[in-house]
Amino acid sequence: MSASVSTASSPLYAIVLAAGQGTRMRSRKAKVLHKVLGRTMVDCSLSLLAPLGVTQTALVLGHQAVDVEAAVRASGIAVPGLTVAIQAEQRGTADAVRSALPVLPALATGGGRVLILYGDTPLLTVERLAELLQKTTGKLGMISTTLLDPFGYGRLVRKDGRAHKIVEHKDCTPEELAVCEVNAGIYVVDAAFLVDSLTRVGQSHATHEFYLTTLVELAAASGEEVAVISAPADEVMGVNDRLDLATAESIFRTRILRSHMQAGVTIHDPATTFIEPGVVLGRDCELYTGVSLRGKTRIGEGCVIDQGCVLTDVTVEAGTHIKPYTVAAQSHIGPRCQVGPFSHLRPDSRLHEEAHVGNFVELKKTELGKKSKANHLAYLGDSTIGSEVNIGCGTITCNYDGFAKHQTIIEDGVFVGSDSQLVAPVRLGAGSIIGAGTTVTRDVPAGALAVTRVPQDNKLEAADKLRARFRARKAKS
């Protein structure tokens, strides 16, 4: 969803709580920095805000705050008006929200609404939050879910069908423990009501923490009807350990695959196909077993991505066939190309229309022109290669002299014979031919033939004499 939910007269703020350590992850890394399909959990939450029309965001951090902030700012996620607040001591969700108030001074004026999210709910959707914002017409709205086994969760207690209060599991009576509707912890709150209510939240008798759930009881006590939106349990699940993380990734992956298949992509084996959320696929693409598409990869219409391919931040134009077990990163592959099998395109490689890169060919910072071919066992680094060039098997560009990288330029229509070494910096002129086994150390003029191999000398009957000598030596030993 891209339509903004807020308006100029009613600004929408966001507070994202991500201060916890996540001890059950058993990790030296902050919990919210663990990834689900290539995206950190905190980024999953932050990515929801801009489409909703949020104007300012407070990210509440505590454990490894410096590392988490650095990762968020380096991720490229567009976070509206991002500021960081610190919760020095984890004393509950209400205390965490209270720590965000100094970095959102506009809340003190009482205008607008505040969306409160968490940094460990990676499966939450823009659509669900938009529904919450739309249906909350009073001071408070929340998301609930129903669990068959609600152990450990705060129960939503209703009175005459309306939300009355939320009771944490440790504080529940036996009757309240029987309730299966639980709090998902996601709220939209009138700014003035939030600021006022935070001054009235007391400590839990059982845990001595300050719980944001008190807002529901305060709103109900003032005669407000709390809007409650129900969501599927998996959509609002919080990730607490590695098992949860794997479960979340499986659900997220299935959701993404289903979306692509419904849009006209053939995925032959969804169980082994991994597509990250930033990937774009055109209609009539085919993905085979074991394909992994990562980052900002863009695949054009009618492409075939064959078995075992791994593409990261790669653009592939329409009609191209990426053959099995190709690995490519940060590269651009033009229309109707053929790449692979077992090819490796390292960053800043670019293939033009109908170019071919074949078995065990590696490119790095190399441009391969229209209809040019490097079909077998070659390394092409720091090179600019023109159109209709043939690169023979075993050819390498010697681009590194031990101190610096140098360019190889191959102009249109050049034929490079097998097992040639092109010692950069060097230029091969248009239409030139490089004989097989040649080591090129200086420029080759256009239309010239370059050959450096030693002249062949056929010694008659020498092969039989040599074999006889070897046999005698072997018998003697």
Annotated active-site residue in 169, 321, 332, 376: 376
Confidence of residue 171 (pLDDT cuts 50, 70, 90): confident
Of 187, 220, 240, the residue that ends a domain is: 240
Q: What is the pLDDT of residues 401-414, one digit of tens each?
A: 999 999 999 999 99
Residue 445 preceded by cis peptide, ω within 30 = no
Q: In terms of domains, do 175 and 159 share one? A: yes
First-residue to last-residue Cα distance in the chain: 81
pLDDT at residue number 8: 46
Return the structure tokens found at 103. 């970095």
Residue 17 is which amino acid? L
Residue 461 lies in a domain: no
Check pLDDT > 60 for residue 214.
Answer: yes
Q: What is the pLDDT of residues 220-259, one digit of tens each?
A: 999 999 999 999 999 999 999 999 999 999 999 999 999 9
Q: In terms of domains, do 146 and 182 share one? A: yes
DSSP state of 271: G
- Find the helix or strand (DSSP H, E) in which 198 lies: helix 191-198
Range scoring the smallest mean pLDDT among 177-191, 199-213, 424-438: 199-213
Q: In terms of domains, do 364 and 414 share one? A: yes
Check pLDDT > 80 for residue 6.
Answer: no
Q: In terms of domains, do 45 and 182 share one? A: yes
Q: Where are the beta strands (DSSP E) in 160-309?
A: 162-167, 181-190, 227-230, 266-267, 274-275, 280-281, 286-287, 292-294, 298-299, 304-305
Confidence of residue 1 (pLDDT cuts 50, 70, 90): very low
Q: In terms of domains, do 176 and 284 share one? A: no
Q: In terms of domains, do 258 and 275 share one? A: yes
Q: In terms of domains, do 310 and 427 share one? A: yes
Of 219, 240, 261, the residue that ends a domain is: 240
Give the side-chain half-sphere CA count within 13 A for 437.
5
| CATH number, domain with residue 165 | 3.90.550.10
Q: In terms of domains, do 188 and 306 share one? A: no
Domain ranges, residue 165: 12-240
Question: Is 330 in contact with 344 (CB distance < 8 Å)?
Answer: no
How does DSSP assign 93-152, residue by residue?
HHHHHHHHGGG-GGGGGT-SEEEEEETT-TT--HHHHHHHHHH--SSEEEEEEE-SS-TT
Q: What is the pLDDT of residues 297-321, one digit of tens each?
A: 999 999 999 999 999 999 999 999 9
- Does 164 participate in catalysis according to the annotation? no
Mean pLDDT for the chain?
A: 94
Q: In terms of domains, do 227 and 271 share one? A: no
How many domains in the chain?
A: 2
pLDDT > 90 fraction of the chain, expressed in percent and rounded: 89
pLDDT at residue number 428: 98
Q: What is the pLDDT of residues 20-66, one digit of tens each?
A: 888 999 999 999 999 999 999 999 999 999 999 999 999 999 999 99
Matching residue, tokens 């200086």 = 442
Question: Is 288 in contact with 301 (CB distance < 8 Å)?
Answer: no
Check pLDDT > 90 for residue 454.
Answer: no
Q: In terms of domains, do 251 and 359 share one? A: yes
**Alpha-carbon span 231 to 259, nearest angstrom:** 19
**Alpha-carbon span 141 to 187, nearest angstrom:** 6
| CATH number, domain with residue 389 | 2.160.10.10
